[in-house]
Homo-oligomer: A and B are copies of this chain.
Amino acid sequence: MSPNNPNRPHPLSQLFEAEFQRARDIIVGIHRPDTSLFFRSIYAKEPDKASLVPFLEVEHAATLTEDTERPPRLAHVEYDIVRLTEHEHIRSVVNLETEQVVSSDSAENLSKPSFTQPEFMLFQDVCLHADMFKEAMAEFTLPDGFSITIDPWPYGGPDELDSPRYMQGLVFARDSSHNNPDANHYAYPIPIIPVLDWVTKKLVRVDRLATGGAEDGLQPHPRSEAPKVLLERNKSADYVPELLDRPLRQDLKPIHISQPEGASFSVHSDGLVEWQKWRFRLSFTPREGAVLHDICYDNRPILYRLSYSELTVPYGDPRPPYHRKQAFDFGDGGAGRAANSLELGYDCLGAIYYLDSFIAAADGSPTPAKSVVCLHEQDNGILWKHTNYRTSRGVVARLRELVVQFVVTLANYEYIFAFKLDLAGGITIETRATGIMSVVPIDEGKSSRYGNVVAPGILAQNHQHIFAVRIDPAVDSYRTGDTQVVVEETHGRKMEPRTNPHGNYYEVQRRVVERAQWIDSEPRLNRILRLENSTKKNEFSGRNVGYKVVAPATQLMLADEESILAKRALFAKHDFWVTGYRDGEFWAAGEFTNQSREEKGGVGDMVARGDWFSSLEPDDGGTQGEAAQRAGHVVWSVFGFTHNPRVEDWPVMPVEIHQMHLRPADFFSSNPALDVPSARNNMSVLVPCCDNGVAKQESNVGAAQGDPLSHLQGTGPDASLQEAGANVK
């Protein structure tokens, strides 16, 4: 039996369709036939690290056989038992080999499960049929030919201590006069927010919204003084080409990116990806989207797991109920569930592999999620170059990247998440924010300190996007005790006759992270984190082999630390968190973010439990130390966009881009990309200077050959070298 036998998938593979179905059937089978079940998610439950590592070590030693012990194949199944007045939310683990339910628990009453697409889809219908909603809308007159469109939102952090499962919605009008379902309804916001009781499927209230300017206070206009006729001055804000308010530009000539010999990477059906000495396993979860496992270079492990963990979007408009505009796009809904099906020729260019996955339908059946991740190679400019100025010979290697990308749509907004591996052993984690801003109405002629008026009647509120990336290291070893995290800083030093007589000395300082903690960026000190193997030394430098984490400092959570917004997103307060590893602990803001009032089980709690990593017991009696030392570290990198909107962000915003980098630091014995050929791209062509009748300044350049100084200014290989053959350059 081959190690790739479909009956024994790789332990890190996402669920195959038959496994998905089996997991669903096992759960259905343990309930009475008349029980009403609502499935939320089904995905592979990853093996415990302790049980997987021995398998990985055998796998990488290329000694895998059918007898190799491997962890059982498990599925995580989350579902509700639907009852009239409450739904019981169950999380089960199913063993797909024994077909047994291994564990099952009922989530606490106060923890609200994340929403699924069928739930979001239901919201608009409920509103449109509700008397309470019709009454609220009766206050307004809409222009002819407009219809109502409602964007469901999570309820945010409730003011009440003990609120039922709620959902709220932002209400818009859509110009349906030209019968185009893609007319942009965000151009026409309506100042009400309906609130739904998720269990009873009834509206509990409709909040009215303040629409005034800076001087109008926090409360909505009294009903008697509020504008009755809405949207009169609003302008369409369409982005689909057939409705655009301007012609498409015709003068952008195509750039073709092609790989005539095919891609340099390969993907196996169990998720194994191989490219240029890199190998990793790719999976996809409903909450995280793409996840990279067991990332190795030249068969040396670097990371055990790499994923986006959370994203919170708090809004800065103080007028109630806008303080409840705070989404957790991973915890409240799920980035994987919201992933776009990508299309050839739009989202990635070149030779592209698309990963398919499955999402649980309400009845638990595997719904295909087609092309939710794309993999392709791209050229990112020069990787390294040196020109010998004495001979004018230059050698250039290009920076090729393998990009693993997925795009999520969260109602109005889009994120583009990408993991990029490169030829020099680097990993870049790139986040792009685009889509349509969440806007609200503002009275004609007014302006606001809470945001920017990006079009007549449209206030784009100030807000933040704060992300957490989870980095689970395995630096040149799967033995988690070998890894250490080091904070490195670079400090200037005062002039001093004995050690620094001319004042130019500066000092690189290291501090091993001894216990779980947060760490803030400090660009003035060039503070970075190093992930090192404390037992393996670089053969030349003698220093620990390692990778460094390089991330630009960004503004983090602005909300008052006493606010519910800040309390439910403690992770968003610091740039880095280093915590003790625990199996299944993937969530920076905790497992349950939907309608939370505080972060539970997130990085704050992980740090608070006092894990320590050194072999020495801390003075203050950390209790979890031994386990953490054995289990290793997890590093969480947090970064934010403070988005104070520009008019240019309307109606669909150009991408804001953030990049962070993992770069080898004494992991290799030299530049690992030194063997990348300096190959000439033969498709490149010259663009001529385009006007005639003018003295060309280049006319005399040919004369350079005879000039004794000409070799000083150029990289051109001289004739004798060029004749030496194809591999000279």
Contact = CB atoms under 8 A, between A and B. Distances in A.
Given A218-B499, A255-B400, A672 B689 contact: no
A541 interface: yes
Contacts of A507: 449
A240 interface: yes
A249 B679 CA distance: 11
Contacts of A674: 239, 244, 246, 651-652
23 contacts: A240-B393, A244-B674, A252-B423, A256-B256, A257-B379, A267-B689, A269-B691, A323-B502, A351-B685, A367-B710, A368-B698, A370-B701, A382-B407, A387-B414, A450-B505, A455-B540, A462-B506, A492-B559, A504-B565, A540-B647, A646-B664, A647-B670, A648-B664
A590 interface: no
Interface in A390-405: 390-396, 398-400
Interface string A438-481: 00000000010110111110000010000000000000000000
Interface in A680-729: 680-691, 693-701, 703-704, 707, 709-710, 712-716, 724, 727-729
Contact of A524 (B263, B377, B555): B555
Contacts of A146: none
Given A258-B256, A340-B394, A353-B686, A565 B502 contact: yes
A699 to B, nearest CB: 7
A352 B687 contact: yes
B316 A504 contact: yes
B254 A681 contact: yes
A253 B258 contact: no
A535 interface: no
B526 A523 contact: no
A352 B686 contact: yes
Number of copies: 2
Nearest to A545: B647
Nearest to A424: B654
A503 interface: yes
A519 interface: no
A454 B540 CA distance: 6
A505 B695 CA distance: 62
A217 to B, nearest CB: 9
A480 B387 CA distance: 42
Contact of A395 (B159, B240, B264, B564): B240
Majority SS at the chain A contact face:
loop
A143 interface: no
B508 A462 contact: yes
A501 to B, nearest CB: 7
A350 interface: yes
A364 interface: no
A416 interface: yes
B560 A492 contact: yes
Interface stretch (A98-106, A107-115, A429-437): A429-437
A181 B387 CA distance: 12
A182 interface: yes
A125 interface: no
Interface stretch (A22-30, A192-200, A354-362, A612-620): A354-362
Interface residues of A, number: 236
B249 A727 contact: no
A120 B240 CA distance: 59
Interface in A404-418: 407, 409, 411-412, 414, 416
A76 to B, nearest CB: 17
Contacts of A540: 453-456, 647
B666 A647 contact: yes
A117 B16 contact: no
Nearest to A560: B503
A212 B242 CA distance: 72
Interface in A380-394: 381-394
A504 to B, nearest CB: 5
A624 interface: no
A500 interface: yes
A140 interface: no
Given A251-B276, A449-B508, A344 B684 contact: yes
Contacts of A529: none
Contacts of A684: 257, 344-345, 348-352
Most chain B CB within 10 A, of A346, A673, A710, A713, is at A713
Contacts of A649: 671
Contacts of A562: 495, 503
Interface string A324-351: 0010000000000101111111111111
